[in-house]
Amino acid sequence: MTGAAGSPGPRTNGLAIETQGLTKRFGQQLAVNSLDLAVPPGAVFGFLGPNGSGKTTTIRMLLGLASASAGSVRMLGMDMPGAFQDVLPRVGALVEGPAFYPFLSGTANLHRLDAATRHAAPATRKARVNQALERVGLGHAAGKRVHAYSLGMKQRLGIANALLSPRELLVLDEPTNGLDPQGTREVRNLVRSLAADGTTVFVSSHLLAEVEQICTHAAIMSAGRLVAQGPLSGLRQSGSAGIRLVTPDAGAAKTVLARLGLSPRPAAAQPDGEVVTAALPAGPAAGPAAGNAAPGNAAPEDIVARLVEAGVRVRGFAVERESLEDRFVALTGEGFDVAQ
């Protein structure tokens, strides 16, 4: 914790961002409720949730743009907001969309913004602005007035502003919101390249497709609460799994599945037979031999063997896990935008 003189505490666990009990109230409204985030260094961390779930309010507290009602924040190993003078120069941010002078060029806008930054060195300004524009793919449009930029170009110019100085952490609030497919690809590729260089990227989004394509870790918010977080692969695998069987012998298949302790769902007809589905029990399958599979704990290959032994014709068999969208709906009871 921050000492009496406001000096930052020592680095403890190496997390890029850590919050404990972070809470924000607006009168009687609880916008963020006791949030415990853990963002590992070098991650592309997706901060997920529908609009109004508390994502932007959290980001504003992380960056010192809003005060917390309770709880603590550590960024890059230092307590915030006490250490903001040491931390914020190492953090780039794009929050609630970029704002620029429309009749100035991209270069002129970045020069003005850099000049307003207390830690920016005037002697290196021109080189840093040119480098940032090239980094985001705007070198060819550096002299063009911003009012002629597409929305995707404006988003990339906002990221260029965040990159005018070397950054260890980049915080992006809905960076692809409102972009066309080309602009979305541009921002997505930029985020990947930044992460490849070792920058931790914290991306707030309500667009599932974007998160699945660029993120390594994620946290899911619902109505101000954190309902899950961890590596993206782990969030997918933590959901339920089931089997999908295609067979012309649906009745016999259901009997076999019931004997194995599975609960087959109603069959659906399709041209090559009927589709029978059933949920697999939680936890890893034990994988016993086909002749002595324990009820409710049969491995997929053993299920197929038992079906064939019973004369069930198997035309298709698959184990299907919940998608990230399914997991989100299961955790929050809300839908998720899966595309723009």
| Domain spans, the chain | 17-237, 241-321
Helix or strand holding residue 154 (H, E): helix 151-162
Could you give phi then psi for residue 7, rounded to 5 degrees? -80, 145
* Both tokens assigned to 80: 């915030």
The dihedral built from the CA positions of residue 72, 85, 120 and 110, taken in this order, carries a sign that is: positive
- Answer whether 17's CB lies under 8 Å from 62's CB: yes
291-308 as b/e: b if 16+ CB within 10 A: eebeeebbbeebbbbbbe
CATH classification of 241-321 is 3.30.160, yes or no?
A: no
Specify the CATH architecture of the domain 17-237.
Answer: 3-Layer(aba) Sandwich (3.40)
Q: What is the pLDDT along the chain (340 residues), one digit of tens a residue?
A: 333 333 334 444 689 999 999 999 998 899 999 999 999 999 999 998 877 889 999 999 999 889 999 999 999 999 988 888 889 889 988 887 678 999 999 999 999 998 888 778 889 999 999 999 998 889 999 999 999 998 888 888 998 998 888 889 999 988 887 777 887 888 888 888 888 888 999 998 877 777 888 899 999 888 899 988 989 877 766 556 788 899 999 889 999 998 888 888 776 666 667 888 887 765 544 333 333 343 445 788 889 999 999 999 998 998 877 666 666 666 656 554 444 3
Which candidate, 24, 339, 57, places its Cα nearest to that of 177? 339
Q: 3-class SS at 260?
A: coil
pTM: 0.70
- Residue carrying the six token digits 């109230």: 25
